[in-house]
């Protein structure tokens, strides 16, 4: 496996097929880069506590209509959750299908990617649900006995040194085991999702196929993950620094503007500036989401290329 070509191919695919960015928005967590904040007001339109009067009014209505406010909040939250979870599942299946097709030289579009995502929606949902339940097993098996052991030692002895030593050892061992199992489950999950969508397997069969593929290609899969981890950490660090600097600049600018302009104008400027500043970050996160998905799909395709059986005769190139 040529890891340099793998990275380059994934990047080219993410950059050239711009219609995939819509799906990358939901896969890459780009929504978290919305950086719109309303600066505090110093005008008489605020209450004595400095909270805007309109917000105080909404709070008063909510207190007077608690049941209705809770019901409306719950409905809005559920609709918002269903919307984002649904589009995330559609994006997961659609991106895997389209990246695999593009790697074969086929043509894809937004519509075909969307159809592929919708076609695999329920299968991806059930797979994600089952895999989440599987992920709870090591947490229960490892964290449960560790917690009981710690409770038993704390109850059985008054020695602070013995308690600290036991808790440190058990906590470290449990943490290492959970970390190893979590990474292994993540890698199996990446391969199993491709088995589900590209291989057309059933949910249980896809998870089993992902595990077998991971086991047969343990070294290469770990290297693929380490490269992705390094890239992700670098990108996250850059985005963190950029958003931190932008946040400080926005706060300083809004405070300076609030002393020379009406509060409604300051709010309008804050919203507009926040949207303008957020767009490049959101776009970058969406592209990176497509890159990650393409990276793992292309890696899966390379891992599943049929290899000749070990020991099979290979013709000699010498005369």
Q: Which two tokens stand for residue 221?
A: 């899969």
Whether residue 30 lies inside any domain: the answer is no
pLDDT of residue 23: 92
- Asked whether the CA dihedral 78, 79, 80, 83 is positive or negative, the reply is positive
Residues 161 and 150 in one domain: yes
Number of domains forming the structure of the chain: 2
Residues 257 and 298 in one domain: yes
Whether residue 313 lies inside any domain: the answer is no
46, β-bridge pairs: 52
Helix (H, G, I), strand (E, B) or coil at 46: strand
pLDDT of residue 150: 79
Report whether 24 contacts 251 (CB < 8 A): no
Helix (H, G, I), strand (E, B) or coil at 40: coil
Whether residue 138 lies inside any domain: the answer is yes
pLDDT of residue 230: 94
pLDDT of residue 47: 46
Distance CA(120)–CA(26), nearest Å, equals 16
Residue holding tokens 């196929």?
209
pTM above 0.85, yes or no: no
Of 166, 192, 216, which one is at a domain's C-terminal end?
216
Residues 201 and 133 in one domain: yes
Note down pLDDT in tens along the chain; length 319 residues: 788 899 999 999 999 999 999 999 888 776 666 666 655 555 544 444 444 555 555 656 566 667 776 777 788 888 988 888 899 999 999 999 999 999 988 888 999 999 999 999 999 999 999 988 998 888 888 888 888 887 787 777 777 778 788 888 888 888 899 899 999 999 999 999 999 999 888 899 999 999 999 999 999 999 999 999 999 999 889 888 888 887 777 777 777 666 666 666 666 677 777 778 778 888 888 999 999 999 999 999 999 875 444 443 333 333 3
Whether residue 144 lies inside any domain: the answer is yes
Residues 191 and 226 in one domain: no
pLDDT of residue 48: 44
pLDDT of residue 33: 66
Residues 283 and 299 in one domain: yes
Residues 229 and 261 in one domain: yes
Residues 273 and 239 in one domain: yes
Q: Please name which of 34, 31, 50, 32 lies closest in space to residue 42, comparing C-alpha atoms.
A: 50
pLDDT of residue 71: 78
Structural domain boundaries, residue 172: 125-216
pLDDT of residue 257: 67
For residue 142, what are the contacts with CB-CB under 8 A and spacing of at least 6?
Answer: 174, 177, 178, 181
């Amino acid at each position: 496996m040529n890891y340099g070509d793998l990275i380059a191919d994934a990047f080219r695919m993410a950059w050239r097929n711009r219609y995939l960015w819509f799906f990358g928005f939901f896969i890459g967590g780009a929504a978290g880069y919305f950086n719109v904040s309303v600066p505090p007001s110093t005008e008489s339109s605020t209450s004595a506590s400095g909270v805007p009067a309109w917000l105080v009014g909404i709070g008063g209505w909510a207190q007077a209509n608690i049941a209705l406010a809770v019901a409306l909040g719950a409905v809005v939250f559920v609709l918002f959750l269903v919307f984002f979870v649904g589009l995330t599942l559609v994006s997961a299946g659609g991106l895997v299908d389209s990246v695999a097709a593009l790697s074969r030289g086929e043509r894809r579009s937004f519509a075909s990617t969307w159809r592929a995502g919708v076609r695999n929606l329920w299968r991806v949902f059930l797979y994600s649900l089952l895999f989440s339940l599987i992920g709870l097993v090591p947490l229960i098996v490892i964290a449960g006995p560790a917690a009981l052991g710690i409770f038993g030692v704390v109850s059985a002895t008054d020695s602070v040194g013995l308690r600290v030593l036991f808790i440190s050892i058990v906590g470290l061992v449990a943490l290492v085991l959970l970390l190893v199992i979590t990474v292994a489950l993540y890698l199996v999950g990446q391969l199993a999702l491709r088995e589900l969508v590209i291989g057309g397997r059933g949910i249980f069969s896809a998870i089993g196929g992902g595990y077998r593929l991971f086991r047969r290609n343990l070294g290469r899969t770990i290297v693929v993950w380490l490269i992705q981890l390094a890239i992700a950490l670098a990108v996250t660090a850059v985005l963190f620094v950029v958003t931190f600097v932008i946040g400080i600049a926005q706060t300083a600018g809004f405070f300076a503007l609030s002393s020379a302009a009406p509060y409604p104008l300051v709010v309008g400027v804050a919203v507009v500036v926040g949207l303008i500043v957020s767009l490049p970050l959101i776009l970058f996160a969406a592209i990176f989401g497509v890159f990650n998905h393409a990276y793992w799909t292309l890696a899966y395709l390379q891992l599943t290329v049929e290899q000749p059986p070990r020991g099979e005769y290979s013709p000699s190139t010498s005369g």
